[in-house]
Amino acid sequence: MLAIDTNLIVRYLVDDDPGQAARARRLIDNNDVFVCTTVLLETEWVLRSVYGFSAAQCAKALSDFAGLPRTRLEDAAAAAKALGLMQQGLDFADGLHLAKAEGCEAFISFDQDFAKAANALGGIKVRVP
């Protein structure tokens, strides 16, 4: 199994550099690949901030990538939960935070907008100190 970096996933999804995209596709399609949660998080950030993907486009691209037959995510359950929360209006990073905090009494943040949005969706409570 090969662990892959953000830039391979971005090339695979965006095809903005034909040479690198072809190499990324060959590697990813022909090998078992492992995607760290941090790489997934960075990929979402790059797609959104550099390539202008909407939240819905990011969620679809990441879901499609995660569903590739030879792709294994470090924490597929947390990624799926975060992608679901993203489709309901939360930032992907905030969704990952909540997914990874399952079982805790609460998630504490100074971000009042995050707390309001997350609490409206249910699940772990987000509290402002």
Q: 42-98 pLDDT, tens per residue?
A: 999 999 999 999 999 999 999 999 999 999 999 999 999 999 999 999 999 999 999
Residue 84 lies inside a defined structural domain of this protein: no
Residue 23 lies inside a defined structural domain of this protein: yes
What dihedral do alpha carbons 20, 70, 48, 103 form, nearest 10°?
-150
Residue 38 lies inside a defined structural domain of this protein: yes
Whether 109 contacts 124, CB under 8 Å = no
The boundaries of the domain holding residue 47 are: 2-74
Nearest residue to 98 via CA among 116, 113, 110, 85: 85
Residue 6 lies inside a defined structural domain of this protein: yes
Residue 10 lies inside a defined structural domain of this protein: yes
pLDDT band at 122 (very low <50, low <70, confident <90, very high): confident
Alpha helices in the chain (DSSP H): 6-14, 18-30, 37-49, 55-66, 76-87, 92-100, 112-121
| DSSP three-state, residue 89 | coil
